[in-house]
Structure 1
Amino acid sequence: MRITLLAVGRVMPPPIRELVEDYRERLNHFVPTRLESVAEEKRDRGMTERLALEREGGRLRARFTPGAMIVALDGAGRMLSSPELARTLGQWLDASPPEILFLIGGPDGLDPEIKSRAHFTLSLGPMTYPHMLARVLLLEQLYRAMTLLRGVPYHR
């Protein structure tokens, strides 16, 4: 069982990359955690947003592990408090899928077909965040959730 964060996007600048890696390492103490990315679709003049999302969606689907619990991040998803996320993550871990796969889309979000395949859609809140920071926020909240589940003093 592992957690994978799969994001559409570009190379992160060093300060963001360091934060992402810090929380990935912390989370990795509780459950093996991977970070992967797929390239954002380059748009030419004739490319529609829909076609770009479909192409990004195809690259994401190619990385899916059979039997994975798929969690799409989307502004229209469910907003959970940190304790609620911990309880939800605990239920997913108890179900023992081979992987819990968190998906972060590019600037235009996720392909609707990808969202329809998700087992759960999670929102980080009503504000808009740069996709690079969404990675940091998600990893920190997953780490916080694991500390809550394991009784490690971190959450206050």
Structure 2
Amino acid sequence: MPRPITQLCDDYAKRLKRHGGLEVIEIPEARADREREAGRRQAMADEAQRLLAKVPDGALVVTLDRGGKLIDSEAFAAQLGRWRDDGERSICFLLGGPDGLDDSVLTQARFSLSFGPMTFPHPLARAMLCEQVYRAVTILERIPYHR
């Protein structure tokens, strides 16, 4: 992960400590012959197994997928607020590797979020997610950050 991205995500995690926290866990990308369809499928299945193993028991799973729901920051904050109000204690956001998320991960998700139809590098998508979680918390708690 590029150092500036790591620093950015660490900064948002530090800001979120007093609001419930944010933990970023990375799994290594599966090594496979991604030029062949069978290799891509195998890599996605391997990544899926390792991703799902990291999901805490009882956590609400949210995937990031270009086929997910397009919502603005206010709607994202409102969704997080509903989950909080419903008693959800842990929300686990899952980002896929270069080929996306395996169906075995997508079917575990209670919600699938999209940042749009464009493809983003994984480090950038991670930084965007950390920022949007922080922004959502500031919206919910009426902290002057979101304009």
TM-score range, shorter chain: over 0.9
- Given that 2:13 and 2:21 are in contact with CA atoms closer than 8 Å, whether structure 1 keeps it comes out as no
In the other structure, the counterpart of 2:18 is: 29
Between structures 1 and 2, the one with greater strand share: 1
Letter in 2 for 1:121: S
Q: 2:135 aligns with which of 137, 141, 144?
A: 144
Secondary structure, counterpart of 1:38 in structure 2: coil
In the other structure, the counterpart of 1:3 is: none
2:71 is equivalent to residue 71 of structure 1: no
- Given that 2:32 and 2:42 are in contact with CA atoms closer than 8 Å, whether structure 1 keeps it comes out as no
- Given that 1:107 and 1:131 are in contact with CA atoms closer than 8 Å, whether structure 2 keeps it comes out as yes
Could you tell me the TM-score, scaled by structure 2's length?
0.93
Matched pairs, number: 145
Unaligned runs of 5+ in 2: none
1:107-122 matches, within 5 Å, as 107-122=98-113
1:33-72 matches, within 5 Å, as 33-44=22-33, 48-72=39-63
Could you tell me the TM-score, scaled by structure 1's length?
0.88
2:2 is equivalent to residue 16 of structure 1: no
CA-based RMSD of the aligned residues comes to 1.4
- Given that 1:27 and 1:139 are in contact with CA atoms closer than 8 Å, whether structure 2 keeps it comes out as no
- Fraction of identical pairs, as percent: 44
Deviation at 1:98, TM superposition (A): 3.3
CA distance in 2, matches of 1:28, 1:127: 31
CA distance in 2, matches of 1:103, 1:42: 19
Between structures 1 and 2, the one with greater helix share: 2
- Given that 1:89 and 1:145 are in contact with CA atoms closer than 8 Å, whether structure 2 keeps it comes out as yes
Which deviates the most, 73-82 or 126-135?
126-135
